[in-house]
Amino acid sequence: MKLLGMKKVRDGAYLKNYELLYENRAGRPKTFELVSRKELRGPQDLGKAVSGVSIVAFCGERMLLLREFRMSLNREVFNLCAGMLEEGETVEDCVRRELFEETGLRTKRIIGLLPPSYSAVGFSDTKTCIAFVEAEGEVSDCASANEQIRARFYDRDEVRALLRAEEFSSRSQMAACCFAAGMGKEALAALFPAEDVEEEGRNRE
């Protein structure tokens, strides 16, 4: 595949739409429609900037899941706590802020951060970090009028039941499946040496 050109076709309040013109393997033109959360100056910016975080949170032997109304679906699905980086914000600060804003919980410890990954490669260059955290405090309702969230911690048996009966976002479904199979903060700690967490976050600002 050879990229021939790129142009913006719509500038929304939160999303930017672009058309990428490729020459496909048969030598014919192919137009790809792209949605980005970032202002892209050109092909060199595609998939470069981290936009936000997804948070896999634990308290003891329980995992945090959000039953969240998503406007794109017009219904509730199970989801991870997640949100977008604000200007000048570090990944760690974004994790702490989003967890508190959406659930009222506080971040007791960031267990680890995975390298940034692409969340919707079929139509977007959006890149986010997945954070694993220990949470503490009491769950409270999200204060935003634009978000409808019911958060709680679930044990492994409850998560197994949810996986059989409920709808999930793809990342939350994968995280829930791993948790139901035995993944927890102890197993994750072996993957993320404590001294590496702060440095990794700084490298992704």
pLDDT per position in the chain (205 positions), as tens? 999 999 999 999 889 999 999 999 999 999 999 999 999 999 999 999 999 999 999 999 999 999 999 999 999 999 999 999 999 999 999 999 999 999 999 999 999 999 999 999 999 999 999 999 999 999 998 878 888 999 999 999 999 999 999 999 999 999 999 999 988 777 887 788 764 544 444 445 4
Rg (CA), the chain: 19
Judgement on whether residues 104 and 25 belong to the same structural domain of the protein:
no
Assess if residue 200 is contained within a domain. no
Phi, psi at 83, each rounded to 5° = 180, 175
Assess if residue 198 is contained within a domain. no
The closest alpha carbon to 54, from 10, 142, 141, 113, belongs to: 113
What gap in Å lies between CA 68 and CA 57, rounded to an integer?
A: 16
What gap in Å lies between CA 27 and CA 121, rounded to an integer?
A: 23
Assess if residue 131 is contained within a domain. yes
Which domain covers residue 27, as residue numbers? 2-36
CATH code for the domain of 76: 3.90.79.10
Judgement on whether residues 29 and 57 belong to the same structural domain of the protein:
no
Q: Kindly report, residue by residue over 63-76, the tens digit of the pLDDT.
A: 999 999 999 999 99
Judgement on whether residues 14 and 100 belong to the same structural domain of the protein:
no
Q: Please state the domain count of the chain.
A: 2
Assess if residue 41 is contained within a domain. no
